């Protein structure tokens, strides 16, 4: 598999322009800070380009027949340049010395090119852009044009464009446009249904005054048209600072109203003062300030890999880059979208991705971020209660897709074409993919095990476990003839299969939830007295624990049969087998839906991702090693990895089972889902969960980090071609640096209380300032 060009393990480069990569590059090199995210579109326009700017929490429903989503807000990235009347575009004229350079350390993107217009004028063009980590409202761009073949007249059109949409669905009003002080462009708009005020400002600064500056106000667009002269030897530099403010900004939140304000005036005022404060600030100065915060991030977050393939390192850093820009740490009203905010895919909605794929990373590196994500679930409980009620259940039934706090379920109802019926395939995940509610419980317990955060348990954790368990207790179906509870008619992680009974992943995770909740109730009075007091008012906790235990103990949990296979669900092992080689060899999205209708998919033995593999990953000690391996091998063979969630999780299992080459191959596959050379894999946004997966594959897979027993443990599964893997983790208030080589681990205690841990089966303890070793690779 080839990889994109890259210069070193901090810089991603491409030295030739290929329009086929347009949308993917926009996603992969998206820039942001958790509050805002800007797709990395070129200044000039191309077919296939999808400019996108998303600001956290601005959820809106564009049309009555659509679901709420994160709107594509008015664009500031477009800067149209013409040279002696010829529109600058790499599709036109000729060009050389192309360089696209993404600095992972700061998120700055630079594009350089020498362009000769169809009329024969040659200029060099340098475009740079970044999003600030300091002032989170801020998007900054710089355009530098130098005449190379002789003096040229330039026209630069730049401003704010509200014609962008989410694939044609418009969320924002046309709005009110203004030019203020002859210098600042302002667009005031609002979302059409949620009525969130949005203010977009921008201002331009020049290395030399333009000859003329004309404001152009059109429908959904306000720009300045600048005319400039450029002569050889004197580059013309245009710097553009833009800022976004919305009524959902934390500064407008009050105790009564987590939704912020629906008044435009304060939002405009915030933007007015923000853009005014930038007067005189330079691109380079603003970037330097942002870089300082990035440096601080990398100091703790970097995962260092020494490998024969340098892309192993760069890929990890790209994942860590995205893990930093996808999360709005200070805001417990926000989840993480399945594409972060790097594109309109999955509409900015949060899925189980958060708890299963991302939370391990945040809990083990940045516990405050992890806590905010779980607090988001806690604050979304009203929607989960409502969903349970509507479906005839108790407790909290979390939405499969989650948006604004009180939206409840936001899964769209229809998807792609059914090849057989010719109709849109109904999307049943919102109705049937119930395991999300256990995943939230699993994430809650993971967070507690890793952090020991009793305050969180008091405020949110106990309630989350209790309410999710209440759901499961009511969800189980008693089968009198069999004398057991079952869970029928669900979708498991393997979404190819609808309406299945006793999905192994779902049943075990439901049992986990009931068991943990019962345990938590037992210890609550003592360990979390405030939660106990509060929840006791609502429930008879003793009875509840007893009920949870009764249900859990009588819940059917599939085990292996004579052939050693644990059935993925009641139906799977008797399904028709078909030749999967055609689909197994594909890169990217599987074409299997081009050959089978949804009804047929339910009848053949093929998986999107393997439920048993996921189960073995979230419960690493389940079954004996032989059963684990038998099932891993079997289910891997039926799986098309037609989900970005799949590869790296399989990689973890492969590492644990000592299948070294396979594990590394799966790691590399995971890295390349977004950062590889498939030109369309990430058009609608990067795969956030996969970013957490890449981290998990290294840390939980190759370094064998486990927390399940309530103790930190490490196992050396370092790939043969890796020399060293080194990362920092947070564990119960302490920070440790873990470095492993084939010679074993070195664990250095950086801060916090002493930590006891297991290194390749040996108990150890490490105190502040000390280091311990162990675990040579077999």
Which residues are near its own copies by CB under 8 A?
19-20, 45-48, 62-66, 87, 89, 91-92, 162-170, 173-182, 192, 212, 214-222, 415-417, 419, 422-424, 594
Q: Minimum CB separation from its own copies for residue 54, in Å?
A: 16
Are the C-beta atoms of 715 and 708 separated by less than 8 Å?
Answer: no
Kindly write down the DSSP assignment for every residue of 326-385, as one continuous string. Answer: S--TT-TT----EEEESSSGGGG-B-TIIIIIIHHHHHHH-HHHHHHHHHHHHHTHHHHH
Q: Which is nearer to its own copies, 417 or 573 (CB)?
A: 417
Cβ-based neighbour number of residue 319 at 10 Å: 28
Closest C-alpha to 379, from 35, 731, 57, 34: 57
Assign residue 193 a region (left: φ > 0; alpha: ψ between -120 and 50; beta: otherwise): alpha
Q: Which is nearer to its own copies, 16 or 553 (CB)?
A: 16
Question: CA 251 to CA 270: how far, in whole Å?
Answer: 9
Half-sphere exposure of 37 (CA within 13 A, CB side): 34
Q: What is the separation, in whole angstroms, between the first and last Cα of the chain? A: 29
Q: Which is nearer to its own copies, 263 or 661 (CB)?
A: 263
Question: CA 329 to CA 348: how far, in whole Å?
Answer: 16
Burial 212-234 (b: 16+ CB within 10 A, else e): ebeeeeeebbbbbbbebebeeee
Q: Which is nearer to its own copies, 24 or 547 (CB)?
A: 24
| Helices 611-618 and 646-656, axial angle in degrees (round to 10) | 60
Q: Which is nearer to its own copies, 49 or 503 (CB)?
A: 49
Q: Minimum CB separation from its own copies for residue 217, in Å?
A: 4
- One of 495, 636, 715, 728 is an active-site residue; which one? 495
Q: Which is nearer to its own copies, 193 or 282 (CB)?
A: 193
Q: Which is nearer to its own copies, 279 or 295 (CB)?
A: 279
Q: Minimum CB separation from its own copies for residue 239, in Å?
A: 21
Q: Which is nearer to its own copies, 82 or 365 (CB)?
A: 82
Question: CA 49 to CA 680: how far, in whole Å?
Answer: 12
Q: Minimum CB separation from its own copies for residue 29, in Å?
A: 21
Kindly write down the DSSP assignment for every residue of 256-297, as one continuous string. Answer: S-TT----HHHHHHHHHHHHHHTTT--HHHHHHHHHHHHHHH
Q: Minimum CB separation from its own copies for residue 58, in Å?
A: 16
Q: Minimum CB separation from its own copies for residue 174, in Å?
A: 5
Determine how β-strand 152-161 pairs with β-strand 304-307: unpaired
Are the C-beta atoms of 83 and 89 separated by less than 8 Å?
Answer: no
Q: Which is nearer to its own copies, 349 or 547 (CB)?
A: 349
Question: CA 539 to CA 536: how far, in whole Å?
Answer: 5
Q: Minimum CB separation from its own copies for residue 499, in Å?
A: 22
Question: CA 143 to CA 81: how far, in whole Å?
Answer: 10
Sheet holding 221-230, edge to edge: 86-87, 79-83, 152-161, 221-230, 212-218
* DSSP H or E run through 114: strand 108-116
Q: Minimum CB separation from its own copies for residue 684, in Å?
A: 10
Q: Minimum CB separation from its own copies for residue 422, in Å?
A: 3
Half-sphere exposure of 41 (CA within 13 A, CB side): 27
Q: Which is nearer to its own copies, 423 or 723 (CB)?
A: 423
What residues pair up with 739 in beta bridges, in sequence order? 726, 746
In a 3-state reduction of DSSP, which class is residue 758? strand
Q: Minimum CB separation from its own copies for residue 428, in Å?
A: 16
Cβ-based neighbour number of residue 145 at 10 Å: 23
Instruction: Confirm whether 526 is a catalytic residue.
Output: no
Q: How far is CA 747 from CA 382, 515, 739, in A?
A: 43, 33, 6
Burial 692-718 (b: 16+ CB within 10 A, else e): bbbbbbbbbbbbbbebeeeebbbbbbb
Q: Minimum CB separation from its own copies for residue 578, in Å?
A: 18
Q: How far is CA 607 from CA 9, 210, 640, 673, in A?
A: 35, 61, 6, 18
Cβ-based neighbour number of residue 750 at 10 Å: 15
Are the C-beta atoms of 395 and 473 separated by less than 8 Å?
Answer: yes
Q: Minimum CB separation from its own copies for residue 605, in Å?
A: 23
Q: Which is nearer to its own copies, 181 or 537 (CB)?
A: 181
Cβ-based neighbour number of residue 179 at 10 Å: 18
Kindly write down the DSSP assignment for every residue of 680-719, as one continuous string. Answer: TTTTT---HHHHHHHHHIIIIIIT--B-TTSSEEE-----
Q: Which is nearer to its own copies, 89 or 649 (CB)?
A: 89
Catalytic residues: 495
């Amino acid at each position: 598999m080839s990889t994109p060009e890259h210069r070193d393990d901090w810089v991603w480069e491409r030295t030739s322009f290929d329009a086929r990569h347009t949308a993917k590059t926009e996603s992969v090199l998206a820039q942001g800070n958790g509050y805002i995210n800007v797709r990395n579109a070129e200044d000039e326009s191309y077919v296939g380009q999808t400019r996108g700017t998303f600001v956290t929490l601005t959820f809106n429903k564009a049309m009555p027949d659509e679901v709420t989503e994160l709107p594509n807000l008015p664009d500031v990235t477009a800067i149209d340049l013409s040279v002696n009347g010829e529109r600058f575009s790499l599709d036109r004229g000729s060009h050389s010395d192309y360089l696209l350079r993404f600095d992972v350390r700061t998120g700055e993107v630079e594009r350089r090119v020498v362009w000769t217009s169809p009329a024969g004028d040659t200029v060099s063009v340098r475009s740079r852009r970044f999003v600030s980590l300091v002032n989170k409202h801020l998007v900054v761009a710089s355009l530098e044009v130098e005449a190379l073949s002789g003096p040229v007249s330039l026209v630069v059109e730049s401003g704010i464009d509200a014609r962008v949409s989410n694939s044609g669905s418009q969320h924002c009003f046309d709005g009110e446009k203004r030019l203020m002080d002859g210098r600042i462009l302002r667009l005031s708009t609002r979302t059409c249904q949620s009525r969130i005020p949005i203010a977009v400002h921008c201002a331009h600064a020049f290395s030399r005054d333009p000859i003329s500056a004309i404001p152009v106000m059109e429908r959904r667009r306000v720009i300045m048209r600048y005319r400039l002269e450029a002569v050889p030897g004197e580059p013309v530099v245009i710097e553009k600072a833009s800022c976004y403010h919305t009524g959902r900004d934390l500064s407008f939140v009050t105790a009564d109203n987590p939704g912020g304000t629906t008044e435009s005036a304060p939002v405009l005022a915030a933007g007015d003062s923000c853009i005014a404060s930038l007067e005189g600030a330079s691109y380079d100065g603003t970037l330097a300030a942002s870089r300082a915060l990035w440096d601080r991030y990398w100091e703790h977050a970097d995962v260092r890999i020494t490998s024969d393939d340098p892309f192993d390192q760069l890929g990890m850093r790209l994942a860590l880059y995205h893990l930093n820009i996808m999360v709005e740490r200070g805001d417990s009203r926000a989840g993480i979208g399945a594409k972060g905010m790097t594109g309109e895919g999955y509409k900015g909605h949060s899925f189980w991705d958060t708890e299963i794929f991302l939370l391990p990373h945040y809990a083990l590196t940045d516990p405050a971020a992890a806590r905010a994500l779980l607090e988001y679930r806690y604050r979304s409980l009203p929607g989960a209660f409502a969903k349970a009620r509507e479906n005839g259940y108790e407790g909290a039934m979390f939405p499969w897709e989650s948006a604004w706090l009180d939206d409840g379920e936001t899964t769209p109802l229809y998807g792609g074409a059914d090849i057989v019926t010719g109709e849109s395939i109904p999307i049943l995940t919102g109705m049937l993919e119930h395991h999300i509610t256990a995943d939230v419980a699993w994430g809650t317990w993971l967070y507690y095990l890793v952090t020991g955060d009793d305050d969180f348990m008091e405020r949110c954790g106990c309630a989350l476990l209790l309410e999710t368990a209440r759901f499961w207790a009511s969800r189980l179906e008693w089968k009198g003839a069999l004398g057991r509870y079952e869970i029928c008619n669900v979708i498991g992680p393997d979404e190819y299969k609808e309406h299945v009974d006793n999905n192994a992943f779902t049943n075990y995770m439901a049992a986990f939830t009931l068991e943990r909740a019962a345990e938590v109730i037992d210890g609550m009075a003592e360990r979390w007295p405030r939660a106990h007091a509060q929840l006791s008012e609502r429930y008879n906790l003793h009875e509840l624990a007893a009920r949870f235990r009764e249900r859990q103990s009588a819940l059917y949990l599939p085990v292996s049969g004579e052939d050693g296979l644990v059935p993925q669900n009641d139906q799977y092992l008797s399904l028709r087998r078909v030749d999967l080689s055609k689909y197994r060899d594909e890169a990217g999205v599987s074409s299997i839906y081009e050959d089978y209708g949804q009804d047929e998919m339910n009848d053949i033995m093929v998986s999107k991702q393997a439920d048993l593999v996921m189960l073995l990953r979230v419960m690493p000690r389940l079954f004996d090693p032989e059963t684990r391996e038998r099932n891993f091998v079997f289910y891997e063979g039926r799986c098309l990895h037609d989900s970005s969630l799949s590869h790296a999780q399989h990689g973890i299992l492969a590492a644990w089972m000592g299948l070294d080459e396979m594990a590394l191959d799966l790691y590399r596959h995971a890295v390349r889902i977004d950062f590889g050379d498939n030109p369309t894999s990430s058009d609608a946004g990067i795969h956030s969960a996969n970013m957490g997966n890449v981290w998990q594959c290294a840390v939980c897979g190759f370094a064998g980090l486990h927390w399940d027993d309530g103790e930190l443990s490490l196992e050396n599964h370092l790939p043969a071609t890796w020399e060293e893997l080194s990362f920092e983790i947070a564990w119960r208030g302490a920070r440790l640096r873990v470095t492993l080589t084939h010679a074993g681990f070195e664990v250095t205690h950086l801060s916090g209380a002493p930590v006891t841990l297991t290194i390749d089966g040996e108990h150890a303890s490490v105190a502040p300032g000390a280091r311990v070793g162990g675990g040579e690779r077999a």
